[in-house]
Amino acid sequence: MTAALSKACLRPMTDAVATAPALPAGLLAALTDLLGPSGVITDPADLEPHLSDWRSLYKGRSPALLRPASTAELSAAMKLLFEAGVPVVPQGGNTSMVGGAMPDESGSQVILSLQRMNKVRDIDPVDMTMTVEAGLVLKTAQDIAAEQGCLFPLSLGAEGTATIGGVLATNAGGNTTVRYGNARELMLGLEVVLPDGQIINGLRRLRKDNTGLALRQLFVGAEGSLGIITAAVLRLFPQPRESAVAFCAVPDEDAALALFRRFRERDETAIRAFEYMSGTGIDLTLKHIEGAVLPIGERADHYVLVDLASSRPNAGLAEMLESVLEGAFEAGEVVDAAIAQSDAQRHAIWRLREEHPEAQRKEGASVKNDVSVPVSKVPELIRRASAACQALIPGTRPVPFGHLGDGNIHMNLEQPVGMDPAEFLARSHDIMDVVNDVVRELDGSFSAEHGIGRLKTDMLADWRGGAEYETMKRIKAALDPKGLMNPGKVFF
């Protein structure tokens, strides 16, 4: 069945109108009294970077960006906004792939940034937890954990910009989900400011805490539609002592899955990441990314990146990697492979995977589908969705890549060579429809890790209709009775 999609949800960018409607009289002054001059930004030049999204899908307007410096300040500001009936759009690093952190074009929605709330409140290598404010950048959290000899394992391409609040609000996954789980599984406790300014202080660093409803989990993945995440207790892990990374050419999608199973059977706990890449994706990366080099002799149509890691001393990962690959060669599941011998080589292999989005951007227009299916169905997903898109628009270049070990493939499509990018993008929803038709038939999900944002609200209503969607809306109405939290996102 094809989802009934409104073309309006993937809008081309429009120019922002310079003057946005004023907020209710006296509100800006009251907010400035509360947050100080650096806590209320209204200068159009300073607002500009906050009004368009990473993918340039939307261009919004806003009368002000609020930057509270503490939970108490944020709570007081939210009370004022709630009383005045002003909608609020939380914005972290603004790396959302679905326009989740964009104000709409009305000019009535205030942007709330936690840029100034970026402290580490506590880090405890015995409890293996760190308590951090939501504005902390993900990469900084990783680095601070590492200074204490610990690992915060969440890792994704936007980690130098994305914030802890943002990755929790989107329940981000990323490269290491196959080993450590997604953001939800890395969070023990949460501090949240509700739409009316009340504070839920759930910053408990407990492994076991069955005390009523686990409210903290409601806000993870809610994309700012229920409240503002202000701080979190995150789980830490031992730093790996050893790692081993290989870049493999495989004959087809089935072989990629077979190789994953081979590693899982040998030692599931050693797999830190298992990523699939297509020949086209690597070709584009080699073409557009300076310094990118194919680490094996000949190009192939399918590749896999295997990353093993262990905190055990003398874990013998290099030997294990070689021996599993030898078995795979003999079975015809691998045709060529390069094993990194240094950190520089590990980095170079990972770069081939991480630069896929940038390479696609440089090549021309592309349509992104962040979908998941049961792991066993990944090969079928890639083959069927690619064929369906090529039948829809001849010459379309499928660029599937991503987290094979989680069943999560970024089923991206690059425009045909020579086609007008605008003409290709105008078919975005047709492409998403044919991909989603395959995903639905394979019992998958139309959004694996990027969330709903503004882009996929009608898909949520269509796919999660009936009691499931109604229950979500009841929870939304109970927590956000005035509908002020990130309006137009998640819910239709």
Residues that bind ligand FAD (CB under 6 A): 54, 89-97, 100-101, 114, 134, 156-158, 162-163, 165-167, 169-170, 172-174, 223-224, 228-229, 357, 449-450, 453, 486, 489
* Closest to 190 (Cα-Cα) out of 219, 153, 152, 226: 219
Residue 68 or 364 with smaller CB distance to ligand FAD: 68
Residue 172 or 258 with smaller CB distance to ligand FAD: 172
Given a contact cutoff of 8 angstroms between Cβ atoms, the answer to whether 278 and 401 are in contact is yes
What CA–CA distance (Å, rounded) separates 157 from 401? 13
Instruction: State the Cα torsion 66-67-69-74 to the nearest 10°.
Output: 30
* Closest to 110 (Cα-Cα) out of 160, 174, 47: 47
Residue 54 or 237 with smaller CB distance to ligand FAD: 54
Given a contact cutoff of 8 angstroms between Cβ atoms, the answer to whether 230 and 112 are in contact is no
Least separation, in Å, of the C-beta of 370 and ligand FAD? 8
Residue 54 or 329 with smaller CB distance to ligand FAD: 54
Least separation, in Å, of the C-beta of 380 and ligand FAD? 23
Three-state SS at 231 = strand
Least separation, in Å, of the C-beta of 157 and ligand FAD? 3
Supply the DSSP symbol for 296.
Answer: S
Angle between helices 356-363 and 279-288 (to 10 degrees): 80
Least separation, in Å, of the C-beta of 437 and ligand FAD? 24
Residue 275 or 333 with smaller CB distance to ligand FAD: 275
DSSP E strands in 34-91: the ranges are 40-41, 65-66, 88-91
Map tokens 């004023």 to a residue.
22
Residue 463 or 491 with smaller CB distance to ligand FAD: 491
Residue 154 or 337 with smaller CB distance to ligand FAD: 154
Least separation, in Å, of the C-beta of 179 and ligand FAD? 14
**R_g over Cα of the chain:** 23
DSSP structure string for 5-38:
--GGGSPPP-PPPS-PPPPSTTHHHHHHHHH-GG
Map tokens 């005390």 to a residue.
211
**Nearest residue by C-beta to ligand FAD?**
166
Sign of CA dihedral 358, 62, 116, 236: negative
Least separation, in Å, of the C-beta of 490 and ligand FAD? 8
Residue 167 or 244 with smaller CB distance to ligand FAD: 167
Least separation, in Å, of the C-beta of 187 and ligand FAD? 12
What tokens appear for 447 in the block? Answer: 């959004």
Least separation, in Å, of the C-beta of 200 and ligand FAD? 12
Residue 414 or 449 with smaller CB distance to ligand FAD: 449
Least separation, in Å, of the C-beta of 230 and ligand FAD? 7
Least separation, in Å, of the C-beta of 291 and ligand FAD? 18
Residue 224 or 281 with smaller CB distance to ligand FAD: 224
Least separation, in Å, of the C-beta of 161 and ligand FAD? 6
Given a contact cutoff of 8 angstroms between Cβ atoms, the answer to whether 17 and 61 are in contact is yes
The phi and psi torsions of 44 (rounded to 5 degrees) equal -55, -35
Residue 165 or 398 with smaller CB distance to ligand FAD: 165
What CA–CA distance (Å, rounded) separates 219 from 423? 38
DSSP structure string for 393-459:
STT-EEEEEEEGGGTEEEEEEEPPTT--HHHHHTTHHHHHHHHHHHHHHTT-BS-SSS--TTTTHHH
What CA–CA distance (Å, rounded) separates 120 from 249? 42
Instruction: State the Cα torsion 191-194-199-201 to the nearest 10°.
Output: -30
